[in-house]
Amino acid sequence: MTISAQTTRGRGRNTTLLPAALAVAAALALAACSGGGGHAGGSAGSGTGRTPTGTRVTVTETEYALKLSRSSFTPGTYTFVARNAGKVTHALSVDGPGVEDAGTHGIRSGQEGVLKVSLKKGTYDVYCPVDGHRQLGMDQHIQVR
Ligand SMILES: [Cu+2]
């Protein structure tokens, strides 16, 4: 991913010299911040001044299971959108390296909750913090690598 981004920007650099070089430096700084994990949303434009929202992951919640829209994760920013497709109130929490007790409020049936987290390499626990739901199966481990 990083390599292709640099190649694209490298072409621009040949046409104009100094401003383009500065733009490349800025772009690289931004790329370093966002961790290079999620190219889905943001890398198309110049990127300047945009707040990265990260890779969107939909989590469908039912009684009593979680279904994630993606199974492979690289370090970076993620926006988890928890969709309650069940009948009782659920919520979504993420726990792991650098992320402690991050969670949504209670999400009623048919509604959505949003949780933005920054993931590093390691194992994270994605679960529903409503009493007993985690033990009933609303619990998934994800590997970030
Ligand atoms: Cu729940």
Closest CA to 118 of 96, 138, 143, 139: 96
106 Cα to the center of ligand 1, angstroms: 9
86 Cα to the center of ligand 1, angstroms: 9
**pLDDT of amino acid 96:** 97
Q: Which residue has the tokens 């069940």?
A: 86
Model confidence at 36, pLDDT cuts 50, 70, 90, reads very low
139 Cα to the center of ligand 1, angstroms: 9
**CATH 2.60.40.420, the chain: domain bounds:** 55-144
| The overall pTM is greater than 0.75 | no
Class of domain 55-144: mainly beta
**pLDDT of amino acid 139:** 98
Per-residue model confidence as pLDDT tens digits over 111-132: 999 999 999 999 999 999 999 9
Q: Which residue has the tokens 């929202």?
A: 53
Average pLDDT over the chain, rounded to an integer: 79
